[in-house]
Chains A and B, each alone.
Chain A
């Protein structure tokens, strides 16, 4: 594991294709909270909307995805590790 302090950071899209491919495949991926604005259209790979990923907690792998008017909270230590590696 790279040296990385417990902190949050913002990462703006475009997300690499490799990262996107992780999202549906990651076995630990689980949406644990969503914002109430679920009536808004969901983000898709063809959308022009940016997606902002906020790592809430490196230790637990909790991530917030901000896309459109939505906020989706996930827990995925593997993805967090990947992002930390990409940020080195």
Chain B
């Protein structure tokens, strides 16, 4: 998956498991950029009575590098606090929840937002309310209104939301993890079956989302408004993380003591980076590292396992890829440095020589009049890997890139195999039951437990 349960240790700690990161120019407010970090993978909507929630003991952060050194220049920190209105009931809610301060809303979460800029901390807001999980038509009869009530405008110009949303990352998990037996192409697989449509393995599941919309000029290194795509100041690098305190002591009365500095346990910039590039034995280590140290993992970006597996599982389909043995400079550019000017006409998101897995967004690229879910591969410069929009088909984009479609950008002597431009798991946003929203926070209304009892 993008980064759901992607490493051994974090797969046992879902509350801190960063599943997806998005960064895009807000389509309805193009003077701003929206940054989204999702956590808690594969939430079954009916998972009560203790429905999913953020961790009070987790430090959630969205990091922005705006000068290309791989280090944070701006960090938004989110800390949560859970309260019980009535500790004497086992119920999450004791009646319909019609507002965020409804007395029936028993188990609530509030959060603070702190901005750290060039080392200086500023608490932007405290006690912001999160919405409840979507329980069902009796408990949460107007969920969209509850979620809208949980969109908060901050004094400095940011807008935030933190709460449950519908999973927006679409992928055919069942086929991918069955040795990349992609249903539309399984007739070509080493274990051939009749070709079939893809199945969205994350449909009707929820996640927990932190979303913040920030005026562009608050993200650039010098406060300028990014209008020139060729200007390095127009590019930011984004990643998200989760950290836990170094020590945790379980007390005799269900009390928990924590001490020590925060230790990063999860991070995510580009989708699928840790998932498919970093080998199993190093994934936990990668999660603890800052992006600026990603040169340690350069070899895995230059020499990827997925292309080898594609040639193994689809014999004869990728002969040119099978014969290609050079380090994958295209992968290094896409994931670790950004794409320099001159490679794709009218585009760059290059941040310099520092090798760091960041989701790089050129904020000066205009919104697409006709967005293409294949992003830059589909001729849409406003999409992945120029940042990432909620609807971008990052699985197919990366699959095709790994299959060699992007090698000619850096090595014109290479001719991609015909299949490289066609490979896909066969999914589109129409395979998501709860559609994306046109407005902040853009991810769809979460699925209710009553209506999705067996997801």
Chain A: residues with CB nearer than 8 A to chain B? Answer: 10, 12, 35-37, 49-52, 54, 66-71
**Which B residues from 218 to 272 make CB contacts under 8 A with A?**
245-247, 249, 257, 259-262
Nearest 9 interchain pairs by C-beta = A66-B260, A66-B259, A52-B247, A35-B261, A52-B259, A50-B257, A66-B247, A12-B249, A71-B261
**In contact, B249 and A10 (Cβ under 8 angstroms):** yes
**Set of chain A residues within 8 Å of B262, measured between Cβ atoms:** 69
9 contacts between A and B (CB under 8 A): A35-B260, A37-B261, A52-B247, A52-B259, A52-B260, A54-B247, A66-B247, A70-B260, A70-B261
Count A/B pairs, Cβ under 8 Å: 36
A67–chain B nearest beta-carbon distance, Å: 6
Chain B: residues with CB nearer than 8 A to chain A? Answer: 245-247, 249, 257, 259-262
Taking chain A's interface residues, is the majority helix, strand, or loop, or is none over half, making it mixed? strand
**Set of chain B residues within 8 Å of A54, measured between Cβ atoms:** 247
A65–chain B nearest beta-carbon distance, Å: 9
A3–chain B nearest beta-carbon distance, Å: 26
The closest CB in chain A to the CB of B251 belongs to A12
**Set of chain A residues within 8 Å of B246, measured between Cβ atoms:** 66, 71
| Chain A CB within 10 A, most for which of B249, B257, B259, B262 | B259
**Set of chain B residues within 8 Å of A50, measured between Cβ atoms:** 249, 257, 259
Among candidates A35, A52, A67, A69, residue contacting B249 with C-beta atoms closer than 8 Å: A52
Alpha-carbon distance between A66 and B263 when the two chains are bound, in angstroms: 12
**Set of chain A residues within 8 Å of B257, measured between Cβ atoms:** 12, 50, 52
**In contact, B261 and A49 (Cβ under 8 angstroms):** no
The closest CB in chain B to the CB of A36 belongs to B261
The closest CB in chain A to the CB of B258 belongs to A50
Alpha-carbon distance between A49 and B246 when the two chains are bound, in angstroms: 15
A25–chain B nearest beta-carbon distance, Å: 23
**Set of chain A residues within 8 Å of B249, measured between Cβ atoms:** 10, 12, 50, 52
B275–chain A nearest beta-carbon distance, Å: 30
